[in-house]
Structure 1
Amino acid sequence: MLQASKSTGRGKPRSKLLALVLAPFIILSAPAAKADDASTPKGVVELFTSQGCRSCPPADRAFEQLVREGKVVALSYHVDYWNYLGWADTLATKENTARQYAYAKTFGRNGVYTPQAVLNGREHLKGTDASEVNQRLDRMKSSGNGLVVPVRASRHDDQLSITIGKGAGKANVVVVYFRQNQTVEVLKGENLGQSLNYWHSVTDVQTVGMWDGKSLDLTLPAKPMGDEESDGIAILLQAADEGGNPSRIIGATVMMTTPKTL
């Protein structure tokens, strides 16, 4: 496990409240009528990884297993702080790195590490064992720390509609763009010569609204077809800590622009 213990000085991730443009999506997760409905995802797994991290490929493979199982909202964030080792991660963004450092503040940590899997915004672990991730999510669900607020979405003509049910507390409505699948040939660095397969690599994160515990309906304009940077989207209902850092995720759903190919 590689760890970066020194702060990069980056601030919190950019949060944009705007008229969001979204592509036409085929919904993979059925609308959730109840928090315990079978269509509700088991939880949210956010994997922080890097093409330049020799410890990351096992976690990337475990993450792929979780994607294929189809029971969780799975998002992979490529970070850029290992680029100095000789290979600049082709999927990394400074915003992904900033989100991980913001989580470090939430967890009271001085630094970050890869691979790191964050579960429901509440716990973190190395993330190399899909079975352990599933077991932790099961325990979180049974203890009331799962996805307890229903989130659903649908597209009508040129508009995307998001519906969020009732619950307790306040949270941000966060939209995460991602690419379904990419293969990268690593030509330098610690993973030299490897062909690495990546799933659900995040390209952008945007905050589009606020939820205060009451039922909420959002209607957002859709963008034209043909976005080459992302072909999937996750909607997270995520609280923030006192410092504004990402915290517990209490609802989520996921969609693709094209049918999933596994």
Structure 2
Amino acid sequence: MYRLTSWIATTCLAVAGSATLAQERSRDHDSPVVVELFTSQGCISCPAADAVLAELGQRDDVIALALHVDYWDYIGWRDSFGDPAFTKRQKGYARAAGRRSIYTPQMMIGGAFDVVGSRPMKVMDAVQHALDAPALATLTITRDGDMLLIRADPLGPLPETLVHLVRYTPRATVDITAGENEGRTVFYTHIAHGWQVLGLWNGEAPLEMQAEVTGDDPVVVILQEKGYGPILAASRLR
């Protein structure tokens, strides 16, 4: 079923039944894989993908982020975590891939693999592919009070790379009283907020920069190829 927005055709993909993930022992990995779930409280197919993300978020080799979009708000329920910046980010991925449609629940894995978020086997395959890819940079972050220190080193030639900073709320429960999920109480995890671009790194020399952070929510730094390309490295402080 397709619904039109002013910019793009969007599809809310239905998957029958609830998704479950087999528990796997996380292996050591210097740079965890970033899994971005584009989701919405107003999408009837999204709770299954939200549950998949919650399980992925328990792994040490995965940084799970739920990016709540705002383009389903018109059908009767305004997403309390929705952010137009996340809709813009999803559109950026679509343009980079030459697509003219966006949908929920979509997972972008490592900035490179596009998977329906409520299909756990496809998700796990994509996560493993991303983990098997060779590292392109090392990244470490440390925090001293309200100051975050970011250090990165290239492991070879790199494209122009954006340095992203994002926080996330670990968990929240929402009673949804209208829209497609009316009457449901949904448990959400890894709710992204405050996404910002700190700067551009040419990758020719080691990177060292600082950023101010406040509050107790986990901190994530992402190095991503400019133009919504692959994620080269990521690090997190919980």
- Please indicate, yes or no, whether the TM-score normalized by the shorter chain is above 0.5: yes
Per-residue CA deviations over 1:205-257 (Å, capped at 9, x if unaligned) read: 1111222222111123444x4x7xxx12210001123xxxx22100001122x
Query: Equivalent residue for 1:19?
Result: none
Code of the residue aligned with 1:91 in structure 2: it is F
Could you tell me which of 237, 241, 254 is aligned with 2:223? 237
- The letter of the residue matching 1:217 is E
The CA distance in 2 between the partners of 1:124 and 1:3, in whole Å, is 19
Provide the residue aligned with 1:160 in structure 2: 148
Whether the aligned pair in 2 keeps the contact of 1:49 and 1:56 (CA below 8 Å) is yes
Residues 158-185 of structure 1: CA deviation (Å, up to 9, x unaligned): 4211111113222011001221111100
In the alignment, what sits opposite 2:17?
A: none
Give the share of equivalent positions with the same residue, in percent: 31
Per the normalisation by structure 1, the TM-score is: 0.76
Task: Name the aligned partner's letter for residue 240 of structure 1.
Answer: K
RCO comparison, higher one (Cα < 8 Å, 6+): 1
In structure 1, what residue type is equivalent to 2:200?
M
Deviation at 1:7, TM superposition (A): 5.0
Q: In the superposition, relative to structure 1, how do residues 192 and 38 fare at CA in structure 2: closer, same or farther (>3 Å)?
A: same
Q: Distance in 2 between matches of 1:153 and 1:3?
A: 42
Answering whether residue 164 of structure 2 is matched by residue 174 of structure 1, we say yes
Partner of 1:55: 45
Q: Secondary structure at the match of 2:235?
A: strand
Distance 1:217 1:183, change over 3 A: same
Map 1:111-190 onto structure 2 (within 5 A): 111-144=101-134, 147-167=135-155, 168-169=157-158, 170-190=160-180
1:46 matched residue in structure 2? 36
1:18 counterpart residue number: none
1:54-102 residue CA offsets vs partner (Å, 9 max, x unmatched): 0111100001010122320111100111111111111101111111111
In structure 1, which of residues 248, 251, 259 is the aligned counterpart of residue 230 of structure 2? 248
Query: What is the DSSP-based 3-state SS (H/G/I as helix, E as strand, rest coil) of the residue aligned with 1:69?
Result: coil
Q: Aligned runs of 1:66-145 on 2, under 5 Å?
A: 66-144=56-134
- 1:131 is displaced (CA, Å) by 3.8
1:41, distance to aligned residue in structure 2 (A)? 3.9
Letter matched to residue 220 of structure 2: A
Aligned counterparts of 1:7 and 1:121: Cα–Cα separation in 2: 25
CA distance in 2, matches of 1:136, 1:96: 21
Q: Measure how far apart 1:105 and its partner are.
A: 0.5
| CA apart distance, 1:3 | 5.3
Which residue number in structure 1 is paired with residue 24 of structure 2?
A: none
- TM-score when normalising by structure 2: 0.83
Q: Match of 1:150, SS? A: strand
* Alignment match, 1:207: 197
Cα 1:43/1:5, change in 2 over 3 Å: farther
Structure 1 SS opposite 2:137? coil
Give aligned pairs, total: 217
SS in 2 for 1:165: strand
Counterpart in the other structure of 2:15: none
